[in-house]
Amino acid sequence: MSIRSKRKEEHLALAQMFFDKNKINSFDQMHLLRPTLPESIVDRNSISTTMFNKTVAAPFFINAMTGGSGKSKQINRALAHIAQKYNIAMALGSASILEKEPDQLPSFFIARENNPEGIIIANVNPLTSSEATAKIVKEIQADALQIHLNVVQEAAMPEGDRNFKWLDKIIEIRQAVDVPIIIKEVGFGFDDASIKLLQKNDFSLIDIAGSGGTNFAQIENSRNNHDVSFLEDLGLPTVVSALMAEKTDIDFIVSGGVRNPLDVIKGLALGAKYVGVSNFFLQTYLENGETGLSETINNWINDIALLMAVYGAKSIPDLQKVKRYYDLNLKNKLDQLL
């Protein structure tokens, strides 16, 4: 196993080790005002939406996790089966490894093989060459491309990059590919200045990926030969980052600590076009297998349709009309930052 593949498998093991299903995050400090008389009917079709010119059954999707090793190939096969079964989108983990190790392509292409008509989203880091990225998108037959921005993770990683001048690089990548681009954080949240900088450079879709879920500084600190745990608290809470994005006219995805259907509803109420879920689905799969995750996904689709009716929303955009309120701790952050 190569050093890069070994790191992929280490990340999977550490994500499992640090996973805490009872972890509190900013979704718990945000509340939606429920109408006692919603005058609604539960309709599973009410949560269907369009994503990259394809119709999907739900506004949540399997977000970027893995690829580039033997174990990740097995995981991507199972995730693709489930995505195909329920017609939801799936993003792959970083495929930048393919620039140096093209023989790892099957661990990514397995998703397209098992979901030939569905939405598959490729993922690379911003330092992947534009030529290699274009090849990756073509080989994976991706419908869209995530370019992930992971400064804090790289800072915590013992072998991490130390050059964070990425804007020109992601512009080069955009010019080389012919699919939609998503600029994605990895669990530390987008700030408003960076959102505006991306808008100024004509990027139109971001994934805020706020703090509250997987903490890659924590994961990398456990791999480091000296303590960098001070990096673990640098993230913006998901709800705060979403509200920063909401104040602009950029389209955005909410992810980072999504654990249940109500979190999805809250993300949509914040204005997200879609909601991404990573580690919760991964750990459900690792604990209960493909059958267990398949049952969970089906339940989520039913429960999100149920919650739509509970809040009186006939369509996904209606959720943005639902009144919100916040616990004092979160409201204090919002008052200072927005």
CATH number for the domain spanning 124: value is 3.20.20.70
Rounded Cα–Cα distance for residues 218 and 224 (Å):
10
Q: Any known ligand binding at 2?
A: no
Mean pLDDT of all residues in 130-144? 98
Q: Any known ligand binding at 179?
A: no
- On average, the pLDDT of the chain sits at 96
Nearest to 212 by CA among 260, 271, 284: 260
Q: Any known ligand binding at 277?
A: no
Q: What percent of the chain has pLDDT over 70?
A: 100
User: First-to-last CA distance in the chain?
Assistant: 47
Q: Any known ligand binding at 223?
A: no
Is residue 1 predicted with pLDDT exceeding 80?
Answer: no
Q: Any known ligand binding at 162?
A: no
Is residue 148 predicted with pLDDT exceeding 90?
Answer: yes
pLDDT of residue 21: 83
Q: Any known ligand binding at 25?
A: no
Q: Any known ligand binding at 139?
A: no
Q: Any known ligand binding at 211?
A: no
Q: Any known ligand binding at 112?
A: no
Q: Any known ligand binding at 44?
A: no
Q: Any known ligand binding at 65?
A: yes
What residues make up the domain containing 269? Answer: 3-337
Structural domain count of the chain: 1
Q: What is the pLDDT of residues 121-130, one digit of tens each?
A: 999 999 999 9
pTM exceeds cut of 0.85:
yes
Residue 203 CB contacts under 8 Å (≥ 6 apart), including other chains: 170, 174, 181, 183, 250
Q: Any known ligand binding at 157?
A: no
Pairing of strands 144-149, 30-32: unpaired
Q: Any known ligand binding at 336?
A: no
Rounded to whole angstroms, what are the CA distances from 275 to 89, 158, 210, 231, 288? 11, 31, 12, 26, 23
Rounded Cα–Cα distance for residues 207 and 25 (Å):
18
Q: Any known ligand binding at 7?
A: yes
Q: Any known ligand binding at 238?
A: no
pLDDT of residue 9: 87
